[in-house]
Amino acid sequence: MKITFYGHASLGIEVNEIHILVDPFITANEKASHIDINTIKADYILLTHAHQDHILDVETIANRTGAVIVSNYEIVTHYQKKGFEGHPMNHGGSWDFKFGNVKYVNAIHTSSFPDGSYGGQPGGFVIEGEHKNIYIAGDTAITMDMKLIPLQIKLDLAILPIGDNFTMGIEDAILASDFVQCDKILGYHFDTFGYIEINHEEAKRKFFDKNKDLMLLDIGESIEL
């Protein structure tokens, strides 16, 4: 499994030559100006919630790639009405896709579309693919529900928001990594806006002090699991 960070909460995941794009917000992210969305491959686009900073580039990329949009019922219906392919899910549900199993799990946040219309309830994803299991928390507060995840699955990576203000900050993300029983963490949802700027070295040190590994990728950088 290869994971590429496209900035903010945008991720590319490659499993068995299938390309999954998560929460594409790239063209309005000044820090991601070197990423050309026309070169991003996508067979599936997974959306955690409907906020602009998670869906901005969905239509452009789905138009070009024909990607199947996977999210909550309300978000998928919104895109199906516009003619896009979609696979609706809801909290607690899982589905075997070609690349592996996806479960849509709870998040504590909000989920309106940019025009204010209802975007369902926000979520995160647990993905099992190619013998690697990852948790993408989405925008969320820390929640006791995270403790349910390791009852059923052993995670290889937890992708957690760490920027604070709109989501968990660093201290809560450390606790969240305890809840999901995963000491390998990829941080996201930081630095994009003034509200969520973090000190990278301090963040890494705080995780290190708890015997955890926080990875912060450059935009465009990939890791192999």
- Binding status of residue 51 toward Ni ion by CB under 5 A: yes
- Binding status of residue 128 toward Ni ion by CB under 5 A: no
Question: How many residues line the site for Mn ion (CB under 5 A)?
Answer: 2
DSSP 8-state assignment for residue 223: E
Question: For the chain, how long is the longest CA-to-CA vector?
Answer: 49
Q: Which two tokens stand for residue 77?
A: 């219906």
Judge whether 75 and 58 are in contact, CB under 8 Å: no
Using CB under 5 A, which residues numbered 143 to 202 contact Mn ion? none
We find the least distance from the C-beta atom of residue 143 to Ni ion, in angstroms, to be 15
Dist CA 10 CA 60 (whole Å): 15
Interface residue with Mn ion, options 53, 128, 172, 191 (CB under 5 A): 53
Dist CA 31 CA 13 (whole Å): 20
| Range in contact with Mn ion (rule: CB under 5 A) among 48-56, 75-83, 115-123, 146-154 | 48-56
Judge whether 78 and 62 are in contact, CB under 8 Å: no
Using CB under 5 A, which residues numbered 74 to 113 contact Ni ion? none
We find the least distance from the C-beta atom of residue 16 to Mn ion, in angstroms, to be 29
In the chain, what are the helix, strand and coil shares in percent, each to the nearest 5? 25, 30, 45
| Range in contact with Mn ion (rule: CB under 5 A) among 34-42, 58-66, 127-135, 137-145 | 137-145
Interface residue with Ni ion, options 43, 57, 139, 164 (CB under 5 A): 139
Which of 143, 132, 70 minimizes the C-alpha distance to 106?
A: 143
We find the least distance from the C-beta atom of residue 96 to Mn ion, in angstroms, to be 28
| Range in contact with Mn ion (rule: CB under 5 A) among 31-39, 51-59, 63-71, 91-99 | 51-59
Q: Between 51 and 78, name the residue whose CB sits nearer to Ni ion.
A: 51
DSSP 8-state assignment for residue 209: T
**Count of helix runs (H) and strand runs (E) in the chain:** 6, 14
Question: How many residues line the site for Ni ion (CB under 5 A)?
Answer: 2
Q: Which two tokens stand for residue 21?
A: 């794009």
Interface residue with Mn ion, options 139, 164, 172, 191 (CB under 5 A): 139
- Binding status of residue 189 toward Ni ion by CB under 5 A: no
The one-letter amino acid at 115: D
Binding residues (CB under 5 A) for Mn ion: these are 53, 139
Binding residues (CB under 5 A) for Ni ion: these are 51, 139
